[in-house]
Amino acid sequence: MQHIIDRFISYVTVDTESDPNSDTTPSTAKQWDLANKLVDELKSIGLEEVTIDENAYIMATLPSNVAHDVPVIGFVSHFDTTPDFTGANVKPQIIENYDGGDIILNAEQNIVLSPKYFKDLLQYKGQTIITTDGTTLLGADDKAGITEIVTAMEYLLQHPEIKHGKIRVGFTPDEEIGRGAHKFDVAKFGADWAYTMDGSQIGELEYENFNAAGAKITFKGKSVHPGYAKGKMINSMLIANKFITSLPKNEVPELTSGYDGFFHVTGITGSIEESVVQLIIRDHDAKKFKKRKKLIKKITDKINRKYKKQFGGDIAIAEVKDQYYNMKEKVTPVFHIVDIAEKAMKDLGIKPLIKPIRGGTDGCQLSYMGLPCPNIFAGGHNFHGKYEYVPVESMQKATDVIVRIAELTAKAKK
């Protein structure tokens, strides 16, 4: 346990926040700090073929220790943290033998992690929990996954009696801004399939995720002195508001769950002359996803028809770009890779929680790049904010799952 704690803390105290406004890979120079540290660590524990490319993608190999030909599997995690909340100067707190009550994260600022609000906490009563100090996120997303993969590889190296095939390890930058798999060299990785260790609570096993798109709608206006504006002014901010209120009111993140899709307005900027609405579109079902994108066009077309004569052209310009797709389509034909992970959990006394991801992982993009890649729990909760925490026992169990998957795959036929 202490070994996992020490390793995890050594990762989360390195700031690796990514930046969606950057055009470089990685998007922030500080991601190199942890990337280079990981390269040294992978070499020091004894992995082979440890490489890091010009974009900070890390790969390494644990060679097979069986004579027969078995599938090559991989384990993947990302080392960046979200730009949604600061990841600088992380000060983890270790709560031993959690008693099931409130955890004071920051007494001075009255920031409390309470099971009254975060009910999942109660399932970890009696365990060791790592939290933030209330001023930053923790970074368990996905440094818990990296901790588990490195620890599992180290354990397998120290226990050659555990039989396994060739295992590839991959760590990526910029997953949190949707670019983690963009420059991942699947051919170089050379695995038959892989698993991302990027889920949340213990037992999670996911092979379905959202189809995702981003939309930017620009609204034009006409600025005229307000005292003489009748019949002349067009306030783009009010047009933008009409667009937002035309979206389905109940199809938003805060009112949906499970397989429900949504529209999510993520930003709005504006003046009389021009306003911009940013939103994301999500749905597990490909047909419903397509219908959602068509609705954006339908609403903007209606606005344009209404104002075309007064404005003299299109007043609303919509740009919709697909971001990633549901990996289910690529995983279903090779469903045995999910079965292996499920059996590994059951063998360890872990109840598998098979459910759709209400988001995406590197794995969904990798699946469409030719590397089928379901997602396994890493153990953390409340990602992307100051209430983030991870039970150490969950990280231990995730490490065990990796080892068990390696054992089971060694019994599979190529």
Q: What is the pLDDT of residue 68?
A: 87
Parallel, antiparallel, or unpaired for β 129-131 and 274-283? unpaired
pLDDT in tens, 159-177: 999 999 999 999 999 999 9
Give this prediction's pTM: 0.89
In sequence order, what are the beta bridge partners of 391? 129
Confidence of residue 13 (pLDDT cuts 50, 70, 90): very high
Looking up tokens 């992380």 gives: 90
Q: Do domains 2-209+326-409 and 211-324 have the same CATH topology?
A: no
384 annotated ligand-binding residue: yes
Q: What is the pLDDT of residue 414?
A: 64
pLDDT in tens, 48-58: 999 999 999 99
Phi and psi of 230, rounded to 5°?
-60, 125
pLDDT in tens, 330-367: 999 999 999 999 999 999 999 999 999 998 888 999 99
176 annotated ligand-binding residue: yes
Phi and psi of 383, rounded to 5°?
-60, 155
In sequence order, what are the beta bridge partners of 205? 354, 376
- Hey, where are the domains in the chain? 2-209+326-409, 211-324
285 annotated ligand-binding residue: no
Q: Is the pLDDT of residue 311 over 90?
A: no
Q: Is the pLDDT of residue 413 over 80?
A: no
Parallel, antiparallel, or unpaired for β 58-62 and 262-270? unpaired
DSSP 8-state code for residue 124: G
What number of CA atoms fall less than 13 Å from residue 348's CA on the CB side?
A: 24
Measure Cα distances from 27 to 98, 145, 173 in Å: 37, 21, 8
In whole angstroms, give the CA distance from residue 127 to residue 43.
32
Q: Is the pLDDT of residue 293 over 70?
A: yes
Hey, what long-range contacts does 239-244 have (CB within 8 A, 24 or more apart)?
239/275, 239/303, 239/307, 239/315, 239/316, 240/268, 240/270, 240/275, 240/276, 240/277, 242/303, 243/217, 243/219, 243/277, 243/299, 243/300, 243/303, 243/316, 244/268, 244/277
pLDDT in tens, 362-407: 899 999 999 999 999 999 999 999 999 999 999 999 999 999 999 9
State the DSSP string of 70-87: ---EEEEEE--B-TTS--
Q: What is the pLDDT of residue 411?
A: 87
Q: What is the pLDDT of residue 295?
A: 98
What number of CA atoms fall less than 13 Å from residue 27's CA on the CB side?
A: 24
Fold of 211-324: Alpha-Beta Plaits (3.30.70)
Phi and psi of 314, rounded to 5°?
-70, 130
Residue 253 tokens read as 């993140």
Q: What is the pLDDT of residue 359?
A: 84
State the DSSP string of 237-271: HHHHHHHHHHS-TT-SGGG--TT--EEEEEEEEE-
pLDDT in tens, 204-240: 999 999 999 999 999 999 999 999 999 999 999 999 9
Strand boundaries in 66-210, DSSP class E: 73-78, 93-95, 103-106, 111-113, 129-131, 167-172, 193-199, 204-206
pLDDT in tens, 261-291: 999 999 999 999 999 999 999 999 999 999 9
206 annotated ligand-binding residue: no
Q: What is the pLDDT of residue 67?
A: 86
User: Across the chain, what does the average pLDDT equal?
Assistant: 96
Catalytic residues: 80, 175
68 annotated ligand-binding residue: no
> Which CATH code for domain 2-209+326-409?
3.40.630.10
Q: What is the pLDDT of residue 160?
A: 96
Q: Is the pLDDT of residue 121 over 70?
A: yes
The alpha helices in 83-220, defined as continuous H runs, are 140-158, 186-189
Q: Nearest-CA neighbor of 133 among 85, 86, 93?
A: 93
